[in-house]
Amino acid sequence: MPVSNCPPEHCADLIRSASRVVTLTGAGISTSAGVPDFRGPQGLYVTRRYDPEKVFEIGGFRREPRYFYEFSRDFVGLVRDVQPTFSHHFLARLDRLNKLAGVVTQNIDMLHQQAGSRKVIELHGSYYAARCLGCGRDCRELDYRWWETAMQLSSTPPVARCESCDGVLKPDIVFFGEMVKGFEAAEALVGGCDLLLVLGSSLQVAPASWLPHATDASIVVVNRGQVALPRSSGRYSVDSDLDDYFRKVADCLGMR
């Protein structure tokens, strides 16, 4: 796609004329909040600080959950207190104005919910919930309290364990080897939109990368770097910092 062909005022016009905006978000919307990405130039997969096969593969987790929980200890400690970005709040504002039909996200950080977005489909899950692999008990709390409780009670830290049976807790996160969550609902949501905003995603990871092909509506992609979406009429691309760009869009819409 072209480097940039959608100035903020044109994006504002597209939003103004739309009645069902849907957003697909990737790591780029959260990096300015301090959440590390996985596949970027300094991402966790590139730096090899964590071994993906040991940490994020479901068979590896079942064999030895310690590797995932060592990552989680660092990740949760970092993101637990971060705040949503301007772009997260901009989307939540569109939601309150009944412009936003929903958010589909590849992120596991729950910042969309914290910003106030009401309909969020988390394709890769999140730390919002966990299930005990022993007794099947569910833990669900938005602000990581289940995590803190489990870590306090764990008999083998840093592995989080169930307070009922001491079984290993598996956070509601999609590991390699598992199906993504809510894809059919996401596909239907995108298919029914009249404007799709793709924010902070290079569209290189399936099945999220398939979603823009589920709609004939206009698409605006805002991302740093190349995006794997063929050029076509009605598709716009912006290589820009998300927060800077949407501050300008918000000004055009009179939302600041």
User: Which of the residues are catalytic?
Assistant: 124
Q: Omega of the bond prior to 52 within 30 degrees of 0, cis?
A: no
CA 135 to chain centre: 29
Integer Cα distance of 46 and 48 in angstroms? 5
Which residues sit opposite 171 in a β-bridge?
130
Integer Cα distance of 173 and 96 in angstroms? 28
Under a CB-based contact definition with an 8 Å cutoff, are residues 225 and 202 in contact? yes
Integer Cα distance of 167 and 121 in angstroms? 28
Radius of gyration of the chain (CA): 19
Q: Omega of the bond prior to 212 within 30 degrees of 0, cis?
A: no
Under a CB-based contact definition with an 8 Å cutoff, are residues 201 and 195 in contact? no
Which residues sit opposite 219 in a β-bridge?
196, 235
